Amino acid sequence: MRKLTAVIITLVFCSISSGFSQPAFSAADMKCEYLVNPLGVDTPKPRFTWCLNDSRPGARQTAYRILVDIDSIALSTGKGSIWNTGWVKSDEQLAIFSGDELKAFTKYFWRVDVTDQRKKKSTVGKIASFETGMMNQKNWQGSWISDTEDIQLKPAPYFRKTFATTKRIKAARAYMAAAGLYELSINGQRVGNHRLDPMYTRFDRRTLYVTYDVTPQLQAGENAIGVLLGNGWYNHQSTAVWNFDKANWRNRPAFCLDLRITYEDGTTETISSGKDWKTSLSPIIFNSIYTAEHYDARLEQPGWNTANFDDSKWRSVIYRSAPSVNVVAQVMHPIRDVEEMAAQGFRQLNDSTYLFDLGRNIAGVSSITVQGAAGTIVKLKHGERLYKNGYVDMSNIDEHYRPTDNTDPFQTDIFILSGRGEETFKPRFNYKGFQYVEVTSSKPITIGKSSLRGYFMHSDVPVAGQVRSSNPVLDKIWHATNNSYLSNLFGYPTDCPQREKNGWTGDAQIAIETGLYSFEGITVYEKWLADHRDEQQPNGVLPSIVPTSGWGYEWGNGPDWTSTIAIIPWNIYLFYGDKKLLVDCYDHIKRYVDHITGISPTGLTTWGLGDWVPVKSKTPVELTSTCYYYADAVILARAAQILGKETDYEKYMALSVKIKDAFNAKYLNRETGIYGDGVQTALSVPLYWGLVPENLKSKVAANLAKRVEADNYYLDVGLLGQKAILSALSENDYAAIAYKVAAQETYPSWGWWIRNGATTLYENWNIAASRDMSLNHIMFGEIGAWLYKGIGGIKPDPAQPGFKNILLKPHFVEELSQFEASHNGPYGKIVSSWKRTADGISYTVTVPANSTATLYLPVINGLQVQLNGKTIAATTMQLQAGEFLFEWKHR
Ligand code: BGC
């Protein structure tokens, strides 16, 4: 009998163990510096990340081994001559390179093997690569060159050079640095599909260069390189309140290029920018990143960037000093024409004016294809609204523009026809915010609905999240939030794509979670925080807009705006579990917090703008700004702890307690549990940022709930209150009330905008407002994040960031019959999805491989919870990787 039992046990064990050994699992989604097979990586210590492709319940990684080699074949045989980590017992899926010194211009291949919970090795996954760029400024061979014109000259310059190749080409890379913007072409073909390269930086402190694989564009024999330079933010000729035209970096655009060719025989040759290049003016007779572009097709020089072109009339170039001594790689998701769209509406307004309607508001450009006589002037005026008579109304977006004459009309491209048949114009060095395009022509043209196309442009960050619900208006709000988020992402986050295009810090700290739940934004934020570091004063002060030419150190830059320096690195840490940005910014956060402390000895600060664009009630600036000061001190203390800086940890924790005490002493009525005069912002901001004493939290939250009920479930907040209110309610047992506010469809609410046709978020709750009325602002976009957090209940766990452990706290709000939120975190796709059934509620959860979740099960009166058919009594559960079905049913 005993023997038989043993046999049975062995059989069972075998079947389980063969179950584990059979399925293939491997590392997947491999990225280097958060990009797939990037080119032009300059950091000596690139980061590697991967996911587990392993759908088995409870899948875990117990060890990893990374191999890096310049030979991909050696890699597949298990060699890693540049870096071989050996087997590292770890469940981490982020590793920082620490192998042999990386050489410039070198392609490295890497592979990562993992072991599972039974210590079985993975099947060999894909081999990924990264390629280094310059690595060192000294590796540049090219010279900075430009034409001889000065900053006032309007036409954009062309540059060209021809060269011959005699040997067989194996590979070729172009390394292109520019002050301004450029389009690079080889043998008449545009290189790459990026737009508005390089990204905007503080040019005199950091200049970006971009690497392209140009192997396919080169040919045997004669070749030509063409460069077209645009002004961008470098040579800002338009005039507006922020004085970019007076930037001390301002100059005629210039560039430096190295085209590095590797031949089959192993030799290399670099063709560089230098005195042997020639220049001429292009048909782009004016270009402004801020306003528009003007193009005279009569000035085209067909074939200008091809080898056989006669450039005898072109002029010599001059050397220019480099814009900064810090020329670094642009390693990030580029701006692209991400979506092309046809006009939805077209009508003729008079004998020379036509109106196109894209059907939705975007950031980007339009292209127009028309036919007419040479010299015909076609003007394309872009705007977000129409006057009653159908013409484009720009009064909501041109208020800060200060033109000095009428040659540079706002958001208005000018296209002068060559008369050579059908011709197309699309701006290269500008973008706008618009839904409508009003086209006027000085002479008759052939034009119709299909003549105009729209291009939605933005930093092309991969999608990382999805929300779907049974409420179509809510879904539209979510889509509009994404549209506004993306319309405001151009290598740095902006406030609006039309009126300003400024890197307003407040708008960006508000939108950070909204962005990170839905998009893989890390590369853009790492770059933008480098912009912050470039801009910070030695005393810690930051400007309210980043980058800036100097404007914004004196206005709008209190902690409610410029806490970006702390809040953004902290959120990147929470969402990615990566400390790098915290490390890079640590001293800067410290300097910043110390500065506020210096000017706020009591622990309270009045520095800031306060609850911007409120519905009606106003909350003291000191109340909201002190909450941000507190948040910064807490982030700094936590960062200190994470980075092992114990003394700082103690110091800034103590500071945070001091701030909190001073704040509560002044603003909290401990009897009533009311802050200030008890309006929505005054109650929600301290709740959200954690200043409410633990024992009074429920009282304050109850007061907030009462306040909102008394306000008939309508918002009475501005920018800062809007960030806090929904979570302040849903995290304190009032998710139902939060939902009522979020789902309102009459004024003031997000739904009111949607009801009035919005496809993006607005700057003002009041759609009839006469100012602060951009129709594409992300600053009221917290709702995008809240849908994931407050309804889907997906939150990162600060104790195990990067969704290593997921905090899952769904709220089954009554008005919804169905809701699903999913987020692609560093470990894979997290799903939190619920729907009402005849019996109760069914809730599906996906926890990605190698991560866990702490699930807080909603308690619903009269219903009991089952997991995969078995009743469970607990209210919290720790879940391993896998898919789970929970059902709430009548007892
Ligand atoms: C911008 C805002 C910004 C604000 C600062 C406005 O002009 O568009 O979004 O945060 O100024 O007060």
Helix (H, G, I), strand (E, B) or coil at 424: strand
Residue whose CA lies nearest to ligand 1 atom number 8: 495
What's the pLDDT at 1? 38
C-beta of 552 in contact with ligand 1 (< 6 A): no
Output the CA–CA distances (angstroms, integers) from residue 717 to 435, 558, 685, 725, 761, in the order listed. 28, 19, 10, 8, 16
- Residue 768 is given by DSSP the state T
722-759: pLDDT as tens digits:
999 999 999 999 999 999 999 999 999 999 999 999 99
Q: Residues near 35 by Cβ (< 8 Å), separated by ≥ 6?
A: 331, 332, 333, 523
| Range 808-817 average pLDDT | 97
Residue 35 has pLDDT above 50, yes or no: yes
3-state secondary structure of 485: helix
In this predicted structure, what is the pLDDT of residue 21?
A: 46
Q: Report CA(388)–ligand 1 centroid distance (Å).
A: 28
Structure tokens at 553: 């150190």
Q: Closest residue (by CA) to atom 9 of ligand 1? A: 495
* Ligand 1: residue whose CA is nearest its atom 12: 556
Per DSSP, what are the bridge partners of residue 874?
none
Q: Tell me: pLDDT of 796 over 50.
A: yes
**How confident is the model over 369-389, as a mean pLDDT?**
98
Of all protein residues, the one whose alpha carbon is nearest to atom 3 of ligand 1 is: 504
Give residue 545 CA to ligand 1 midpoint distance, Å: 9
- Distance between CA atoms of 451 and 445, rounded to whole angstroms? 11
Give the global pTM: 0.96
- pLDDT for 538: 97
How far apart are the CA of 495 and the centre of ligand 1, in A?
7
Q: Is the pLDDT of residue 126 over 90?
A: no
What is the reported pLDDT for 24? 82
pLDDT, tens digit (0-9, with 9 covering 90-100), for 630-651? 999 999 999 999 999 999 999 9
- What lies within 8 Å, CB to CB, of 798 at 6+ separation is 574, 638
pLDDT of residue 23: 65
Could you tell me if the CB of 112 is within 6 A of ligand 1? no
Q: For residue 434, what are its two tokens?
A: 């618009």
In short, whether 778's Cβ falls inside 6 Å of ligand 1 is no
pLDDT, tens digit (0-9, with 9 covering 90-100), for 447-474 = 999 999 999 999 999 999 999 999 999 9
Q: Does the beta carbon of 779 sit less than 6 angstroms from any atom of ligand 1?
A: yes
Q: Is the CB of 493 under 6 A from ligand 1?
A: no
Tens digits of residue pLDDT in 695-707: 999 999 999 999 9
Per-residue model confidence as pLDDT tens digits over 249-272: 999 999 999 999 999 999 999 999
* For the CA of 544, the nearest atom of ligand 1: 5
Taking only the tens place, the pLDDT of each residue in 302-326 is 999 999 999 999 999 999 999 999 9
3-state secondary structure of 491: coil
Kindly give the number of the ligand 1 atom that is closest to the alpha carbon of 777.
9
Least confident of 123-127, 227-231, 723-727: 123-127
- Lowest-confidence pick of 273-277, 672-676, 765-769: 765-769
What is the per-residue pLDDT for 153? 98
Residue 395 has pLDDT above 50, yes or no: yes
Six token digits for residue 446:
């052939």
Residue 504 identity: W
Asked whether the predicted pLDDT for residue 19 surpasses 60, the reply is no
Could you tell which of 504, 510, 554, 555 is best to mutate to test the pocket of ligand 1, judged by most ligand atoms within 8 Å of the CB? 504
Q: Is the pLDDT of residue 13 over 60?
A: no
- Please tell me the predicted confidence (pLDDT) of residue 147: 98
Contact 735, 792 (CB under 8 A): no
Position in ligand 1 atom list of the atom nearest CA 763:
9
Q: Count Cβ atoms below 10 Å from residue 215 Cβ, excluding itself.
A: 13
Least confident piece of the model among 21-35, 37-51, 289-303: 21-35
User: Residue 807 has what pLDDT?
Assistant: 98
